[in-house]
Chain A
Amino acid sequence: MNTEALIMMLTTQGLVTALTGYFFYRVLTTKPKAEPDSYTENDEEEERQAKN
């Protein structure tokens, strides 16, 4: 591959991969909001119940 193409490919793919990874990491690590929320699988988790 020529250098120009290689730089273009690595820059673009690196940028897209990094941003994809970053946003998905943020999704995984952001603390969920208190119940009731939009998702059902965590409904029973005690620490997520809204405090009255």
Chain B
Amino acid sequence: MSTDKQAWGSRVGLILAMAGNAVGLGNFLRFPVQAVQNGGGAFIIPYLICFLLMGIPLLYIEWASGRFGGKFGNHSTPYILDSMVKGRVLKYIGVFGIFTNVAVAAYYCYIESWTMSYVYHSLSGTFEGMSQSGIAQFFNNYVDISKSSTGIPYEAVVFYIACLLLNTFILSKGLKGIERVAKIGMPLLIIFGVILAVRGLTLGSSGASELFPDANAWDGLNFLWTPQYDSILDLKVWMAAAGQMFFTLSVGMGTIHCYAAYMSSKDDIALNAVSAGFMNEFVEVVLGSLIVIPIAAGYLGLDWVIENAGFGMAFQTMPYLFQQWGPVLAAFAGLFWFGLLFFAGITSSLAMGTPWIGFMRDEFNWNQTKGAWSFGLLILVMGLPTVLFFQQGVFDEYDYWAGTVSLVVFAMFETILFSWIFGMKKGWAEITSGADIQVPGIYKFIIKFITPVMLIIIFLGSLFKPLNNDWSGNVSSFLSGNGWTLDNGSIVKTIMHAGIKEQILAATDPMIISQLEERMMYLNFARLLLIALFLFISALVYFAFLKRRREGRATL
């Protein structure tokens, strides 16, 4: 039913686009931080096991489901799932595969716009002579939309809209536009990453200063890679490793299905899936571990890194560290660092646009241009609150529900549907059809039993996260009949704003109480927006169903 035919130009282009979809800011920022917080070198063992038992199976499932749905002219998850399993309700599970992309793209474009802005600031020398706290404050001022560092009023909003326009324009060019960006962006990202990684590896103790006399990049690498075998027995480390799989591989989103839906059933998906998956692992495990942590440890010392490791280091710390290399090298390092983050971001955000465009084309005959600009408008409506009310927590609320919980829920459902309802016999035939490599037969067992169980455990683990993330302690307590105490970060307690309510009860200053109450209001506002988006997409799926029924194309 498409009004314009979309197709990939080349196999390498498709793999780079898939790898670009997977490679995101998390590869450089989340992975090393997770490793630091979860036993250093011990983290890599559960991480790699989770990659083999959950990451690769999910890649196979999503590539195979996408290509299967594509045979019936479906390019987004509601009707991809519908073509696999007949049932009125199942297409609404597929709504997650559009919802997550729209909601994540809404705030992800904001981070992407920071990287654009920071490339500009690095090249124009804004950070020259600034202290570490000055650069951290620069970021805080940047996200306070009433302040401007360039003289442009509402600078953060301007960069956000510029970034959104760029994404929309590229999306309007179709798969060819996305492929061209991936073919330029991925090699540049790797080149920039290698240059910075070499610096991280060779910095040693040359960055030590009077303030941080013991700073040594090797300490950072030591901490990151020394195996602490006792933490392998800690369930918390396993949960963190499994959680990282979703962020790093972009599984559970619906983008992989959409990209694979443009493939013919006689072409390989098995080799393509592992090739794109391992390319992502290379960027994460090799490049991601050699930049932020060693460079930060090289100038600020390991203690500072352990205390401050977090997402904010990218914008609040790295520009300061680059300044230690002199103004010219700092400008280049800023260009490389924020440039690689920008390419990592844009190749992912472009992927997030394709399920919506594919759905509107398949169901309502919208052409690529109309689909792309409607996506841009939707992102603007959903994304502006994350920009305007960033400091009130709207951004983080989107990230929690759309960028974390939704991924796990959808991945769990799609895995159960694929292996148990669609069935492993058909599923395995779909994975191996046209395969250019021999897929190990053990994966039939893993996909049917291990992956679904792991996903159910992760989902239940998020729902009932134990107090202080102390899994081992709480499991013992539960088994000995002493109950299970929920953490405020568990889904159950997050829904009820338990953490904020506790803070309100503990506070005595009326001003702080009123600030906390105001924060709760903004978080509820963010939730309402997300619920409205989910209902809106569900309504579109229903109208599409009615249209299909009128045309005699509905499956049920």
> Is B483 positioned at the interface, with any CB of A under 8 Å from its CB?
no
Hey, which chain A residues are within 8 Å of B129, CB to CB?
Answer: none
B282 near A27 (CB under 8 angstroms)?
no
Instruction: Take A5-B225, A33-B267 as given contacts and tell me if A24 and B10 are in contact as well, using a CB distance cutoff of 8 Å.
Output: no
> Is B302 positioned at the interface, with any CB of A under 8 Å from its CB?
no
Instruction: Take A1-B218, A4-B226, A23-B271 as given contacts and tell me if A40 and B278 are in contact as well, using a CB distance cutoff of 8 Å.
Output: no
A28 near B226 (CB under 8 angstroms)?
no
Distance in Å: Cβ of B200 to nearest Cβ of chain A? 12
Residue from the set A28, A30, A41 with the largest chain B CB neighbour count within 10 Å: A41
B9 near A26 (CB under 8 angstroms)?
no
Instruction: Take A1-B222, A12-B285 as given contacts and tell me if A39 and B436 are in contact as well, using a CB distance cutoff of 8 Å.
Output: no
Distance in Å: Cβ of B294 to nearest Cβ of chain A? 10
A37 near B266 (CB under 8 angstroms)?
yes
Chief secondary structure at chain B's binding surface:
helix
CA distance A37 to B274 in the complex (A): 20
B9 near A41 (CB under 8 angstroms)?
yes
CA distance A42 to B436 in the complex (A): 18
Hey, which chain B residues are within 8 Å of A32, CB to CB?
Answer: 11
A12 near B275 (CB under 8 angstroms)?
no
Distance in Å: Cβ of B67 to nearest Cβ of chain A? 9
CA distance A23 to B276 in the complex (A): 9
Hey, which chain B residues are within 8 Å of A27, CB to CB?
Answer: 11-12, 15, 271-272, 275, 436
Within 8 A of A (CB), among B210-228: 218, 221-222, 224-227
CA distance A19 to B285 in the complex (A): 13
B9 near A33 (CB under 8 angstroms)?
no
Q: Which bracket fits the contact residues of B?
A: 35 or more
- Kindly supply a per-residue 1/0 record for chain B positions 379-415, scoring 1 wherever the CB is within 8 Å of any chain A CB and 0 otherwise: 0000000000000000000000000000000000000
CA distance A28 to B13 in the complex (A): 11
Hey, which chain B residues are within 8 Å of A9, CB to CB?
Answer: 41, 221, 224-225, 289
Q: Which residue of A lies closest to B176 (CB)?
A: A40
Distance in Å: Cβ of A25 to nearest Cβ of chain B? 9
Chief secondary structure at chain A's binding surface:
helix
Hey, which chain B residues are within 8 Å of A6, CB to CB?
Answer: 225
Within 8 A of A (CB), among B9-27: 9-15
Hey, which chain B residues are within 8 Å of A8, CB to CB?
Answer: 41, 44, 225-227
B285 near A13 (CB under 8 angstroms)?
yes
Q: Which residue of A lies closest to B280 (CB)?
A: A20
Q: Which residue of B lies closest to A4 (CB)?
A: B226
Hey, which chain B residues are within 8 Å of A26, CB to CB?
Answer: 271, 275, 436-437
A16 near B285 (CB under 8 angstroms)?
yes
CA distance A32 to B12 in the complex (A): 12
Hey, which chain B residues are within 8 Å of A52, CB to CB?
Answer: none
A12 near B44 (CB under 8 angstroms)?
yes
Hey, which chain B residues are within 8 Å of A2, CB to CB?
Answer: 222, 226
- Kindly supply a per-residue 1/0 record for chain B positions 41-68, scoring 1 wherever the CB is within 8 Å of any chain A CB and 0 otherwise: 1001000100000000000000000000
CA distance A39 to B10 in the complex (A): 5
CA distance A16 to B286 in the complex (A): 8
Within 8 A of A (CB), among B32-48: 41, 44, 48
Hey, which chain B residues are within 8 Å of A42, CB to CB?
Answer: 10
Hey, which chain A residues are within 8 Å of B44, CB to CB?
Answer: 8, 12
Hey, which chain B residues are within 8 Å of A19, CB to CB?
Answer: 278, 281
- Kindly supply a per-residue 1/0 record for chain B positions 236-264, scoring 1 wherever the CB is within 8 Å of any chain A CB and 0 otherwise: 00000000000000000000000000111
Q: Which residue of B lies closest to A28 (CB)?
A: B12
A16 near B281 (CB under 8 angstroms)?
yes
Q: Which residue of A lies closest to B263 (CB)?
A: A38
Instruction: Take A23-B278, A37-B266, A39-B7 as given contacts and tell me if A17 and B12 are in contact as well, using a CB distance cutoff of 8 Å.
Output: no
Please name 8 further chain A to chain B contacts, defined as beta carbons within 8 Å, in addition to the given A38-B263, A40-B7, sorted by A numbering: A8-B41, A8-B227, A12-B225, A13-B285, A27-B15, A36-B264, A38-B8, A39-B13
Q: Top 5 nearest A-B pairs by Cβ distance?
A: A5-B225, A23-B275, A9-B225, A5-B226, A20-B282
